[in-house]
Amino acid sequence: MKQLVRPAVSLFVLMSVVTGLAYPVLVTGAARVAFPDQAAGSLVEVDGKVVGSTLIGQSFSDPRHFWGRPSATATAPYNGGASGGSNLGPSNPALVDAVRDRVAALKAADPGNDKPVPVDLVTASGSGLDPHVSVAAAEYQAARVARLRGLPLGAVRAAIDRHTEGRLFGLLGEPRVNVLALNLELDRPAARTVATMAAVPSDGATAPASP
């Protein structure tokens, strides 16, 4: 009996050390060296304070900000510990009501916008954590953000372009805009100065404000 138990226990201890300690430490250490930002969670810092991650969306309700894709995670939106979608079918009344309410909120924030509402602004993703919206969804909100911030529309669209990420390997997925990064740029005090300078023609005349 002892001849059977000792090898079994020894193997158990050895494999626990190798797979439960040595391997995770090795992989984590290699990741920290090769991909330090990604290994740390792709965190975003402003003035030394962590304000979010480029991988997880955030709730923005101020109409001066770009709004992200809705999240259906419990118990709060964009809850990384409860990633998932609503799992509601297209004919489910609860989904229909939720979409109707989201469209109404977008219209209330920008009454003069008669463009079709992009679907990703009114439906949650499967993960509930999407940090991006489509380029169309960002463009839909550009005039509202520009007007409420007192910025030229062209400057806001240029900011969208700067934060648009292309297809993976040039083939997979669609171009998308990181909402947190875009809002952080517009929130910086320098954003207004740069935008104002961009709106002044080279002859010194003041350009008309964008709608």
Type of residue found at 66: F
Amino acid (one-letter) located at 38: Q
Paired residues of 164 in beta bridges? 177
* Per-residue confidence (pLDDT) for residue 128, from 0 to 100: 94
Contact between 67 and 141 under an 8 Å Cβ cutoff? The reply is: yes
Whole-number Å distance between alpha carbons of 67 and 58: 9
SS3 10: helix
Burial 70-79 (b: 16+ CB within 10 A, else e): bbbbeeebbb
pTM of the model: 0.75
Phi and psi, residue 168, nearest 5°: -65, 125
| 184 burial type by CB count under 10 A (0-12 exposed, 13-18 middle, 19+ buried) | middle
pLDDT at 153: 96
What is the predicted pLDDT for the residue at 19?
92
Q: Which of 49-58, 176-185, 190-199 has the highest mean pLDDT?
A: 176-185
Q: Name residue, tokens 């939106």.
A: 77
Average confidence (pLDDT) over 41-52: 82
Predicted confidence band of residue 37 (pLDDT cuts 50, 70, 90): low
Q: What are 70-93's pLDDT values in tens digits?
A: 999 988 999 988 999 888 898 999
